[in-house]
């Protein structure tokens, strides 16, 4: 293959994959509506429990209002956690069509990465936007301001949050790619999908904000890769992580993404090669 | 007394119409426009114990609606149906204990279990006592030649083997009526013959009443003494298969090949046409002029090398019948 | 053969079928265990920070949590047929097959599959319940143990009723029924804490609309010797799991109406 003349040309297959996947996933509106209802309900239940805990001991490293905001953000970005391997790739592995994927004149890891990113974006946006509207606009209007998602404290927080949540998507996709690598290596989605969701859910802050874990665990929890999925962007949004702290958080997200992409790339190449040797 | 009595069966469905667009979907939540579909308008017939009835008609004619009502899984809008003194939809459990049903495209056995274990489960579901079960099982295993299949999980059997096991399963509780829905669909020639053979035996030797719905006219030709044609929700025809064939057949064709130079054939009521290969094709109405009379007359008057009768394909005959009654699928 | 023995036969057949793919159910069970386990890890973390919730200790919460989890896991294991009813019976027309057999459709669906993978959730619930029994600040008597078993049984009945109601909806629509999960899974989540920690409206919802409180909160407060927020006397709290059975009965009646609707409209 000769080097493409223009950089735009090189990106074209990836952009096409991104667009096609995005529109396809957007079509499942009924499922999105059902998902939104469920997410609101779970948000309410989590907040009720948190409120009960705070009533007994209100002075914590994170106020109840912040914990409520954190919970709503968690519901809005729920599907951004690396729950499963890309279902299309799982299907390709199952049917054996994965061999044809190797025939495309593109880098398989990059191509799959972009597909998985589009899949995630298309699932996140239709859920996150209405969830934001409900938690940040509708709730205060109905007099439930104390239980709503507050706006970020200042403009830098909003900008840094936007950067950080994009980094979270990139990081999550890198994790999805690792799971996909396991699927290709084991030729089954069952094993890889068994543990990954549980692990990422608790370690990202998806179940309990990481700041509410015992103090001695705090540094370790901040440094591990899953914090970049939920805890870092959310704390930036709430103004808890600003300035140097926010920069460190985003730096951690990017560093973990780089590491996981490198590892995932090598792992996937190795798995695919083995698949070809076996004639799979 | 008739075993099955069906009178003026009528079934109407209300079908919700979806309105297009997102706004239509929202409106649909509160108010739905409905359209009434009349699957059955007026279906009546009766059947004696031990008959073998072929039930045919184009797709959407009302065949499967009728069979669903007869087997007790659908209630009609109006009309009467009595089978062995029971009304199927009112006495579902007692009724279905006395019938056997085989669907060609659906299994009633357990996918991951060896066939014999499915049989034992069915024994318990139908409350068949052990001695009777053993007797029937042995008989069916022999008739259907499935001895060697019994210990194999269903999913590993071929379609033909599976269908034989399905029929055996449907007979384990000794039903007096057997419903067969497309029992030969997708089967190879050998399996088709085997299935037909068994159905015939069950009907003739055991006196089981059989109701067979199928699109395969060879099934009907091979098995059914009596045929009900259903179309647009009414019974179009209820007669022997031979009579149906004769009616739809209309004209028969005779092909004459001459030994020497062809000579003109001029018989009233017979139209002729010379084919490309030189043979002459005669079309006539077999009900007015028997084929054998025509053949002996031509053989006497002309120098003939070969004469044979050509009948249209049975599928074509039935298709013509549907078209004749405007019952073909629109 | 009576219904109970037939059910046993169904269950044996289902287990034999699943044993042909041992890896599949083991992995699903592990996943279930992991997912529910991290849920309780979250509860532990919150107690490590806050100390108590509304005056309840971790040991007491473990009792509520374990009892409700076990009840749901058992109901979930035995109700697979209802769970997949819309997709695998109504959409495909396979429900006709059940109607053609001389047995109650609910019995046949109950026997459709005994889900071995539910062992994952069940074992997690059992571990948490054991922790709760160990840590709960009471001396266990035979009466307490009986009442606990009675509460779990009532919980199984109530969750089973919920799952039947969910399946009954499939007679009307098979689209997006996972919304109903907010009462099944949501009920499990809510019942894991004593209802008095919640806001009034939510507490009433979980008591009088979905009677989770009758199979968890009330009998367990009776065991722990604590007053309940609804002001029910101790004997009523002890008897309340009966409501779970009544709920199951009502669900079966509504199921029957759904079946009648199906048989008059067809698929």
pLDDT band at A24 (very low <50, low <70, confident <90, very high): low
Residue C14 within any structural domain of the chain: no
Is the CB of B68 less than 8 angstroms away from the CB of C9?
Answer: no
Residue C35 domain flag: yes
- Residue to test with chain A: of C21, C44, C50, most A Cβ within 10 A: C50
Looking at the fold, whether B92 and B150 belong to one and the same domain comes out as yes
Specify the range with the lowest mean pLDDT, choosing from B24-33, C5-14, C79-88: B24-33
pLDDT, position C213: 93
Beta carbons within 8 Å of A8's beta carbon, 6+ residues apart: none
Average pLDDT over residues C218-247: 93
Residue contact A207–C38, C-beta within 8 A: yes
* Residue B320: burial class (beta carbons within 10 Å; 0-12, 13-18, 19+): middle
The pLDDT assigned to B20 comes to: 59
Neighbours of chain B (3+ CB pairs under 8 A): C
- Chain-centre distance of CA C68, in angstroms? 7
Q: Which of B209-213, C117-121, C143-147 has the lowest mean pLDDT?
A: C117-121
Closest residue on chain C to B37 (Cα): C265
- Tell me the shortest Cα–Cα distance from A30 to chain C, in angstroms: 7
Shared-domain flag, residues B129 and B30: yes
Any idea what DSSP says for residue A2? P
Residue B329 lies in a domain: no
Closest chain C C-alpha to A38 CA, distance in angstroms: 6
Report pLDDT for B258.
Answer: 82
Domain stop point among B214, B229, B245: B245
Please report whether residue C229 resides in a domain.
yes
Compute the C-alpha angle A99/A105/A108, nearest 5°: 60
The CATH number of whichever domain residue B297 belongs to comes to 3.30.70
Evaluate whether residue C2 is within a structural domain.
no
Q: Quick: pLDDT tens for A177-230.
A: 998 888 888 877 777 777 888 889 999 999 999 999 999 999 999 999 999 999
Q: d(Cα C153, Cα C131) in Å, to the nearest integer? A: 19
Among A37, A207, A226, the strongest candidate for a mutation testing the C interface, having the largest count of C CBs within 10 A, is: A207
Is the pLDDT at C104 greater than 90? The verdict is yes
CB contact under 8 A, C35 and A201: yes
Which of B73, B110, B111 is the closest to C100 by Cβ?
Answer: B73
Average pLDDT score over residue span B111-116: 91
Same domain for B277 and B200, yes or no, is no
Residues from chain B that touch C265, judged by Cβ atoms under 8 A, are 13-14
Rounded CA separation B27/A44 (Å): 29
Cα of C124 to nearest chain A Cα, Å: 14
Q: In chain B, how many H helices and how many E strands?
A: 11, 13
Residues B206 and B280 in one domain: no
Which residue is associated with the tokens 């109840």? Answer: A64
Which residue has 């509506």 as its token pair? A33
- pLDDT band, very low/low/confident/very high, at A6 (cuts 50, 70, 90): low
pLDDT in tens, A132-179: 899 999 999 888 888 999 999 999 999 999 999 999 999 999 999 998
pLDDT of residue B30: 58
Confidence of residue B22 (pLDDT cuts 50, 70, 90): low
Tell me if C99 and B92 make a contact (CB, 8 A cut-off): yes
Instruction: For residue C51, give its domain range.
Output: 21-265
Within a domain: residue C6? no
Mean pLDDT of A63-88: 90
Residues of chain A with pLDDT > 90, as a percent, come to 50
Q: How far is B31 from chain C (nearest CA, A)?
A: 15
The segment with the largest mean pLDDT, out of A103-117, B23-37, C22-36, C114-128, is C114-128
Of C31, C175, C186, the CB nearest to A41: C186
Mean of per-residue pLDDT scores for chain A: 86
Contact criterion met (CB < 8 Å) for B117 and C16: yes
- Phi (first) and psi of residue B285, to 5 degrees: -95, 110
CATH number at residue B109: 3.40.50.300
Residue B13: its chain C contacts at CB < 8 A?
265-266
Task: Say if residue B85 is in the same domain as residue B219.
Answer: yes
Query: Residue C20 is nearest to which of B103, B112, B121, comparing CB atoms?
Result: B112
Average pLDDT score over residue span A115-139: 88
pLDDT tens for each residue of C45-96? 999 999 999 999 999 999 999 999 999 999 999 999 999 898 889 888 889 9
Subunits adjacent to chain A (3 or more Cβ pairs under 8 Å): C
Q: What are the Cα distances from residue B141, in Å, to A166, A260, B103, B196, C174?
A: 66, 61, 19, 16, 40
Q: Judge whether B146 lies within some domain.
A: yes
First to last CA, chain C: 31
d(CA A227, CA A205): 7
| pLDDT classification of C253: cutoffs 50, 70, 90 | very high
Residues of C in contact with B125 (CB under 8 A): 6, 101-103, 108
pLDDT at C192: 93
Could you read off the pLDDT of B162-208 as tens digits, one per residue? 999 999 999 999 999 999 998 998 898 888 998 999 999 999 999 99
Asked whether residue B219 is domain-assigned, the answer is yes
Task: Inspect the interface and report whether the beta carbons of C186 and A214 lie closer than 8 Å.
Answer: no
The whole domain housing B285 covers 250-324
Cα separation, A44 vs C113, whole angstroms: 34
Q: Among B245, B271, B306, identify where a domain stops.
A: B245
Per-residue confidence (pLDDT) for residue B251, from 0 to 100: 65
pLDDT at site B262: 72
Domain co-membership, B239 together with B271:
no
Instruction: Quote the CA–CA distance of A175 and A268 in Å, as a whole number.
Output: 12
Residues B209 and B280 in one domain: no
Residues of chain C neighbouring A30 (CB-CB closer than 8 A): 175-176
Q: Residues A15-26: what's their mean pLDDT?
A: 68
CB contact under 8 A, B92 and C103: no
Instruction: Using the predicted structure, report yes or no on whether residue C267 has a pLDDT greater than 50.
Output: no
The answer to whether residue C12 sits within a structural domain is no
How many domains does the structure of chain C reveal? 1
Q: Cβ of C22 under 8 Å from any chain A Cβ?
A: no
Domain boundary among B206, B228, B245: B245
CB contact under 8 A, C182 and A41: yes
Q: Per the CB < 8 Å rule, is C263 touching B73? A: yes
- Assess B126–C contact: CB distance below 8 Å, yes or no: yes
Q: Considering only A20-24, A32-36, A144-148, C97-101, which range has the smallest mean pLDDT?
A: A20-24
With CA atoms as reference, report the closest residue to B9 among B103, B83, B79.
B79
Whether B306 and B254 map to the same domain: the answer is yes
Q: How far apart are CA C133 and CA C131, in angstroms?
A: 6
Same domain? For B102 and B233 the reply is yes
Whether B28 and B170 map to the same domain: the answer is yes
pLDDT tens sequence across B53-89: 999 988 888 888 999 999 999 999 999 999 999 999 9
pLDDT class of A70 with cuts at 50, 70, 90 = very high
Which residue, among C99, C104, C111, would best test binding to B if mutated, counting the most B CBs under 10 Å from its CB?
C99
Judge: C100–B101 Cβ closer than 8 Å, yes or no: yes
Q: Which residues on C lie below 8 Å from B110 (Cβ)?
A: 13, 17
B203 and B297 inside one domain: no
- For residue B330, the model assigns a pLDDT of 45
Split at pLDDT 50, 70, 90, the class of B231 is: confident
Tell whether the torsion through CA atoms of C51, C56, C59 and C64 is positive or negative.
Answer: negative
pLDDT of residue B29: 53
User: In whole angstroms, how far apart are CA B39 and each of B59, B92, B139?
Assistant: 11, 22, 40
Query: What's the pLDDT band for C266 if we cut at 50, 70, 90?
Result: low
Q: Round the average pLDDT of chain B to a whole number and report it.
A: 86
| Residue A2 binned pLDDT confidence (cut-offs 50, 70, 90) | very low
The answer to whether residue B330 sits within a structural domain is no
Termini Cα distance of chain A: 26
Same domain, B227 and B311: no
* Cβ neighbours of B89 in C, within 8 Å: 263
Question: What are the Cα distances from residue A55, in Å, to A107, A149, C44, C54?
Answer: 54, 19, 18, 7
| Interchain proximity C6–B125, CB inside 8 Å | yes
In a domain, C13, yes or no: no
Residue in chain C lying closest to B100 (CA)? C100
Spatial distance between the Cα atoms of B289 and B269, rounded to a whole number of angstroms: 9
φ, ψ of residue C115 in degrees (nearest 5): -80, 110
């Amino acid at each position: 293959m000769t080097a493409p003349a223009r950089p735009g040309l090189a990106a074209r297959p990836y952009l096409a994959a991104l667009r096609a996947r995005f529109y396809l996933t957007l079509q499942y509106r009924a499922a999105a509506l059902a998902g939104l209802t469920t997410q609101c309900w779970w948000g309410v239940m989590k907040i009720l429990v948190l409120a009960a805990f705070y009533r007994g001991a209100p002075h914590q490293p994170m106020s109840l209002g912040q914990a409520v905001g954190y919970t709503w953000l968690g519901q809005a970005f729920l599907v951004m956690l690396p729950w499963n391997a890309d279902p299309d790739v799982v299907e390709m592995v199952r049917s054996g069509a994965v061999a044809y994927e190797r025939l495309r004149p593109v880098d398989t890891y990059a191509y799959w990465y972009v597909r998985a990113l589009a899949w995630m974006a298309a699932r996140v946006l239709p859920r996150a936007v209405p969830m934001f509207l409900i938690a940040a606009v509708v709730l205060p209007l109905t007099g439930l301001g104390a239980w709503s998602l507050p706006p970020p404290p200042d403009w830098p927080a909003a900008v840094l949050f936007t950067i950080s949540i994009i980094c979270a998507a990139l990081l999550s996709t890198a994790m999805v790619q690792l799971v996909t690598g396991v699927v290709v290596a084991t030729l089954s989605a069952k094993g890889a999908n068994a543990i990954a969701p549980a692990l990422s859910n608790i370690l990202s802050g998806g179940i309990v904000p990481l700041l509410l874990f015992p103090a001695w665990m705090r540094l370790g929890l901040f440094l591990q890769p899953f914090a970049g999925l939920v805890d870092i962007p959310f704390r930036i949004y709430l103004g808890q992580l600003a300035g140097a702290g926010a920069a460190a958080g985003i730096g951690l997200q990017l560093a973990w993404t780089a590491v996981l992409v490198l590892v995932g790339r090598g792992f996937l190449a190795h798995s695919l090669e083995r698949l070809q040797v076996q004639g799979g | 007394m008739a075993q099955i009595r069906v009178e003026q069966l009528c079934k109407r469905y209300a079908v919700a119409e979806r309105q297009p667009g997102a706004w239509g979907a929202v409106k649909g939540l509160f108010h739905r426009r409905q359209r009434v579909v009349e699957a059955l308008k007026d279906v009546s017939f009766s059947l004696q114990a031990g008959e073998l009835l072929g039930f045919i008609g184009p797709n959407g004619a009302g065949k499967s609606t009728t069979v669903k009502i007869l087997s007790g899984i659908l209630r009609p809008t109006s009309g009467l149906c009595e089978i062995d003194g029971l009304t199927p939809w009112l006495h579902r459990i007692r009724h279905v204990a006395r019938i056997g049903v085989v669907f060609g495209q659906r299994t009633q056995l357990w996918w991951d279990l060896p066939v014999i274990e499915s049989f034992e489960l069915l024994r318990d579901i139908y409350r068949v006592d052990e001695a009777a079960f053993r007797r029937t099982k042995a008989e069916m295993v022999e008739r259907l030649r499935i001895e060697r299949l019994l210990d194999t999980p269903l999913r590993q059997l071929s379609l033909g083997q599976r269908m034989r096991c399905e029929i055996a399963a449907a007979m384990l509780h000794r039903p007096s009526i057997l419903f067969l829905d497309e029992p030969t669909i997708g089967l190879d020639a050998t399996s088709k013959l085997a299935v037909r053979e068994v159905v015939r035996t069950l009907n003739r030797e055991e006196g089981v009443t059989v109701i067979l719905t199928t699109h395969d006219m060879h099934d009907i030709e091979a098995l059914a003494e009596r045929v009900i044609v259903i179309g647009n929700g009414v019974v179009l025809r209820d007669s022997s298969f031979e009579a149906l064939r004769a009616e739809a057949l209309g004209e028969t064709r005779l092909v004459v090949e001459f030994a020497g130079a062809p000579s003109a054939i001029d018989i009233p009521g017979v139209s002729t046409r010379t084919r490309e290969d030189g043979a002459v094709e005669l079309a006539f109405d077999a009900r007015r002029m028997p084929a054998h009379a025509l053949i002996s007359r031509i053989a006497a008057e002309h120098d003939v090398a070969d004469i044979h009768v050509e009948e249209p394909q049975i599928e074509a005959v039935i298709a013509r019948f549907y078209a004749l009654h405007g019952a073909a699928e629109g | 053969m009576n219904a109970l023995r037939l059910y046993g036969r169904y269950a044996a057949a289902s287990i034999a079928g699943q044993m042909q793919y041992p890896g599949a159910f083991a992995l699903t069970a592990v996943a279930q265990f992991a997912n529910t386990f991290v849920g309780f890890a979250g509860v532990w973390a919150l107690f490590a920070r806050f100390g108590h919730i509304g005056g309840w200790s971790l040991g007491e919460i473990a009792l509520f949590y374990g009892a409700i989890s076990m009840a749901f896991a058992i109901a979930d294991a035995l109700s697979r047929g209802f769970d997949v009813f819309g997709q695998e019976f109504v959409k495909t027309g396979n429900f006709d097959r059940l109607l053609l057999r001389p047995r109650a459709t609910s019995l046949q669906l109950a026997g459709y599959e005994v889900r071995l993978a539910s062992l994952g959730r069940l074992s997690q619930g059992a571990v948490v319940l054991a922790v709760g029994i160990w840590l709960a600040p009471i001396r266990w008597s035979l009466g307490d143990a009986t009442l606990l078993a009675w509460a779990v049984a009532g919980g199984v009945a109530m969750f089973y009723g919920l799952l039947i109601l969910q399946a009954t909806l499939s007679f009307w629509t098979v689209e997006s029924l996972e919304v109903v999960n907010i009462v099944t899974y949501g009920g499990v989540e809510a019942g894991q804490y004593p209802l008095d920690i919640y806001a009034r409206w939510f507490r009433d919802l979980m008591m009088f609309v979905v009677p989770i409180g009758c199979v968890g909160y009330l009998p367990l407060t009776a065991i722990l010797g604590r007053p309940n927020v609804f002001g029910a006397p101790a004997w009523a709290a002890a008897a309340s799991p009966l409501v779970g059975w009544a709920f199951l009965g009502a669900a079966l009646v509504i199921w029957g109406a759904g079946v009648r609707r199906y048989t008059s409209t067809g698929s």
